[in-house]
């Protein structure tokens, strides 16, 4: 047989350095998330495209128009993307931490590695999703390309960072509590209505404006709109506010992770 | 070398934490073959995780010199939707070795190159058991950990699994936790029994079993008195 030269001596440390570890876990995350079906990773794009399609149909049936000088399809897609990215990031971080927890049996692999890998994978997905959906609409419906690509990417990044911040905290708590894990979709449900999919900040009036001004997801959506639609300026597009809101749960997640690891309060038996 | 320095290990219980180890200081020397006789439900898997450096003790410190494997035959690393080769690539990536190195051992052990291209969900339970056994022993480490499983039960493969295990034990230590005194005696030359939160050194696992039996009788007597 077979035993290679390396087998004659034990490795001094049997764990890959952090970047290689994350790259491996990202690869595993990519392969496992949509493994099994024929369409595979295409589901990452089919789901949001279907959502956008349904909302466009709803607009058409109800006779609504885009409140900006833009096609209905591109307006809906730009409004939808931050919400989808935010939500998918949270969901995949929570699921990734649970589905890949067996990898923690390898000394040196940490819960934080699993969460970072999910977040990185979701960032890649987000950028591809943005390119595919917005590029596809531009090709199919002749929508104009983004006016300011950097600002558009900033909007996407804000939505992703919000997802990473809240997702990290919820993922750690989900490892402790099945109740919290099952509550995540319920917790996220209202964000659909406060993310600005159906309206712009300019359309909000009085107390509704005052309340929704505190929605970081609305800020992310408006930042993306500013980047996408030439001349559009929103009163609610503060990236620093989004960053602070994302940082709060992100920072909280670290002591929670310490409690999870040190007190061994995971709901799973490793 | 693995040193438990004043280590206390607890797991959450229904009302209060359950103590598995209490203030234990034990040194497992380099290349030592150590048995720990521990009955079912005594915290064997938790203790294996502490010794493998993947779980922190509640108190005290664990010093590990050299590399440690995960429990031999641990099956959780395989994702059933992926091929064996893909699963091996992920394990290899995390261990910073080439997947070819692990794949060659698995293919030799399972007596088939084609098995690598099969999805894990299509493998028979016995094939899966062979694969995880081979993966867990494919990369040499300084300390092997065995949590109840140390060999594959398939008699056709027994000689091959013993060959692989002995090869890996060449120059490495073993900590074998089990409730099977005979198996412990076969593979180890230093013996402990996990009794009331302490690791007590014994001459052989049979002596450890006598201590566990005596404790069980005492507990039954106390229960009957109540």
Residue A1 falls within a domain, yes or no? no
* A15 contacts chain B (CB < 8 A): yes
Asked if A46 contacts A140 with a C-beta cutoff of 8 angstroms, the reply is no
Residues in chain A: 270
Q: Tell me: the pLDDT tens digits for B19-49?
A: 999 999 999 999 999 999 999 889 999 999 9
Q: Tell me: the pLDDT tens digits for B164-208?
A: 999 999 989 999 999 999 999 999 999 999 998 999 999 999 999
Give the count of Cβ contacts less than 8 A between chain A and B.
123
Instruction: Look up the ipTM and state it.
Output: 0.86
Residue A237 falls within a domain, yes or no? yes
The SS3 of residue B4 is strand
Asked if B19 contacts B58 with a C-beta cutoff of 8 angstroms, the reply is no
In order, the DSSP letters of B153-192 are: S-TTTHHHHHHHHHHHHTT-EEEEEES-HHHHHHH-SEEE
Shortest CA distance from A100: residue in chain B: B77
Do the chains contact at B140 and A261, CB–CB below 8 Å? no
What whole-number distance in Å separates Cα of residue A170 and Cα of residue A147? 35
The answer for B 207-226 residues in CB contact with A (under 8 A) is: none
Sheet holding B198-202, edge to edge: B143-147, B173-178, B33-37, B190-195, B198-202
Instruction: Supply angle C-alpha B101, B102, B105, rounded to 5.
Output: 95
Q: What 8-state DSSP symbol labels residue A229?
A: S
CA distance B154 to chain A (A): 20
What whole-number distance in Å separates Cα of residue A114 and Cα of residue A26? 8
CA distance A47 to chain B (A): 21
Asked if A220 contacts A242 with a C-beta cutoff of 8 angstroms, the reply is yes
Do the chains contact at B52 and A105, CB–CB below 8 Å? yes
Asked if B117 contacts A15 with a C-beta cutoff of 8 angstroms, the reply is no
In order, the DSSP letters of A211-227 are: HHTT-HHHHHHHHHHHH
Chain A residues closer than 8 Å to B140 by CB: 6-11
Shortest CA distance from B73: residue in chain A: A105
Do the chains contact at B71 and A109, CB–CB below 8 Å? no
**Which of B49, B81, B95 is facing A15, going by the closest CB pair?**
B95
Residue A255 falls within a domain, yes or no? yes
Mean pLDDT across A127-138: 90
**Which of B94, B96, B142 is facing A103, going by the closest CB pair?**
B94
pLDDT at B189: 92
The SS3 of residue A44 is helix
CA distance A114 to chain B (A): 12
Residue A268 falls within a domain, yes or no? no
| Count: domains in chain A | 1
Residue A267 falls within a domain, yes or no? no
What whole-number distance in Å separates Cα of residue B145 and Cα of residue B161? 16
Chain A residues closer than 8 Å to B94 by CB: 15-16, 21, 24-25, 103, 106, 108-109
What whole-number distance in Å separates Cα of residue A241 and Cα of residue A213? 10
* A183 contacts chain B (CB < 8 A): no
Query: Per residue in B187-200, is it b (16+ CB within 10 Å) or e — as a string?
Result: bbebbbbbbebebb
Chain A residues closer than 8 Å to B97 by CB: 6, 11
Residue with tokens 């692990």: B102
Do the chains contact at B95 and A11, CB–CB below 8 Å? yes
A200 token code pair: 């712009």
Q: Tell me: the pLDDT tens digits for B50-70?
A: 999 888 898 999 999 999 999
Dihedral sign from CA coordinates of A71, A77, A79, A82:
negative
What whole-number distance in Å separates Cα of residue A81 and Cα of residue A87? 10
**Which of A12, A16, A105 is facing B76, going by the closest CB pair?**
A105
Asked if A159 contacts A225 with a C-beta cutoff of 8 angstroms, the reply is no
Which structural domain, as residue segments, surrounds residue A123? 6-262
% of chain A exceeding 70 in pLDDT: 91
Candidates B192, B114, B109; CA nearest to B151 is: B109
pLDDT at A13: 53
Which of A5, A7, A260 to mutate to probe the B interface, most B CBs <10 Å? A7
Q: What 8-state DSSP symbol labels residue B71?
A: P
pLDDT at B218: 86
> What pLDDT band is residue A36 in, cutting at 50, 70 and 90?
low
Residues paired with B11 in a beta bridge? B18
Asked if A13 contacts B120 with a C-beta cutoff of 8 angstroms, the reply is no
């Amino acid at each position: 047989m077979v035993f290679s030269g390396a087998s004659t001596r034990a490795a001094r440390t049997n764990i890959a350095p952090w970047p290689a570890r994350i790259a491996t876990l990202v690869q595993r995350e990519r392969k496992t998330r949509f493994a099994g079906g024929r369409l595979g990773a295409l589901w990452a794009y089919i789901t949001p495209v279907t959502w956008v399609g349904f909302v466009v149909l709803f607009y058409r049936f109800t006779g609504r128009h885009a409140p900006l000088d833009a096609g209905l399809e591109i307006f809906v897609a730009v409004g939808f993307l931050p919400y989808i990215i935010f939500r998918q990031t949270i969901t995949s971080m929570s699921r990734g931490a649970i589905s890949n927890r067996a990898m923690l049996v390898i000394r040196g692999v940490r819960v934080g590695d699993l969460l970072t890998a999910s977040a990185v994978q979701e960032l890649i997905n987000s950028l591809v999703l943005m390119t595919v959906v917005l590029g596809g609409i531009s090709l199919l419906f002749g929508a104009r390309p983004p006016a300011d690509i950097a600002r558009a990417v900033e909007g996407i990044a804000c939505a992703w960072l919000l997802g990473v911040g809240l997702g990290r905290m919820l993922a750690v708590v989900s490892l402790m509590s099945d109740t919290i894990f099952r509550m995540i979709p319920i917790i996220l449900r209202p964000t659909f209505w406060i993310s600005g999919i159906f309206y712009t900040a300019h359309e909000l009036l009085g107390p509704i404006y005052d309340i929704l001004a505190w929605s970081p997801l609305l800020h992310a959506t408006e930042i993306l709109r500013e980047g996408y639609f030439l001349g559009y300026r929103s009163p609610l597009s503060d990236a620093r506010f989004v960053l602070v809101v994302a940082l709060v749960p992100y920072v909280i997640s670290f002591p929670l992770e310490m409690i999870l690891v040190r007190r061994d309060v995971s709901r799973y038996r490793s | 070398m693995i040193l438990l320095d004043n280590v206390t290990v607890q797991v959450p219980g229904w009302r209060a934490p359950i103590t598995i180890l209490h203030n234990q200081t034990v040194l497992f020397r380099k290349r030592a073959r150590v048995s720990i006789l521990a009955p079912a439900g005594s915290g064997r898997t938790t203790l294996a995780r502490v010794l493998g450096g993947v779980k922190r003790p509640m108190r005290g410190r664990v010093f590990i010199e050299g590399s440690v494997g995960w429990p031999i035959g641990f099956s959780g690393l395989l994702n059933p939707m992926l091929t064996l080769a893909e699963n091996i690539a992920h394990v290899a990536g995390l261990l910073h070795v080439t997947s070819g190195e692990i794949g060659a051992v698995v293919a030799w052990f399972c007596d088939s190159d084609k098995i690598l291209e099969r999805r894990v969900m299509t493998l028979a339970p016995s094939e899966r058991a062979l694969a995880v056994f081979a993966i867990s022993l494919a990369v040499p480490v300084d300390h092997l950990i065995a949590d109840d499983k140390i060999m594959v039960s398939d008699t056709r493969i027994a000689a091959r699994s013993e060959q692989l295990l002995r090869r890996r034990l060449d120059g490495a230590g073993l900590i074998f936790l089990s409730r099977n005194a005979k198996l412990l005696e076969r593979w180890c030359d230093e013996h402990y029994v996990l009794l009331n939160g302490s690791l007590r050194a014994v001459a052989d696992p049979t002596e450890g079993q006598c201590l566990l039996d005596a404790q069980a009788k005492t507990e039954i007597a106390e229960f009957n008195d109540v």
